[in-house]
Amino acid sequence: MSEGRLLNVGKIVNTHGIKGELKVWPQTDFPEVRFKAGNRLMMIPPEAGNPVTVEIVSAREQKKMYVVKIKGFDNINDVEKYKGWELKVPEEDRVPLEEGEYYVRDIVGCEVFTEEGELLGTVTDTLSPGANDIWVVKMPKGKELLLPVIDDVVLDVDIAARKIKVHLMEGLL
């Protein structure tokens, strides 16, 4: 596996039982893809050190965590040292999204324009408070604009050009 840009998949928080299983806190929207049998992940140490490429044998969800079995690790002594390590995949392995869905890091940094072409600012963050996401847009004078990510507001997203076109509904500014 290449070591270009890596995406977080989960964090190893503990061992589980005596047969070499690990408890993993998932940090992905696609745990069923990432922890599927046969999938390969990179285990990255918390401090400097060498990553270890591993293959998933099995995984099951348990209390918002995943209990993961890794090929070649068959008892607790084999896995104890991996507590605190991160599980990652190369960026090339990211899951393709449906139309109208975006990765947060693709949206953050995009410039936001009104449908008339006026620059509103740059997306600095995304929030998920409820029914829809909200993009935080830092405006030129330092104020923040909270844009609801709904079809009536977001007209066009061009990730390649790093531009978003929006319709400002009454009361948004």
Domain ranges of the chain: 6-93, 104-166
**What count of Cα atoms within 13 Å lies in the side-chain half-sphere of residue 73?**
24
The DSSP H or E segment spanning 26 is strand 21-26
Render pLDDT for 20-45 as a digit per residue (tens, 0 to 9).
999 999 998 889 989 999 999 999 99
At residue 130, the pLDDT reads 79
pTM listed for this prediction: 0.65
Residues of the chain with pLDDT under 70: 1-4
d(CA 61, CA 133): 26
Asked if the 6-93 domain carries CATH number 1.10.287.3510, the reply is: no
At residue 142, the pLDDT reads 84
Query: Tokens in use for 130?
Result: 């409820």
Asked if the 104-166 domain carries CATH number 3.20.20.80, the reply is: no
**What count of Cα atoms within 13 Å lies in the side-chain half-sphere of residue 57?**
11
At residue 4, the pLDDT reads 66
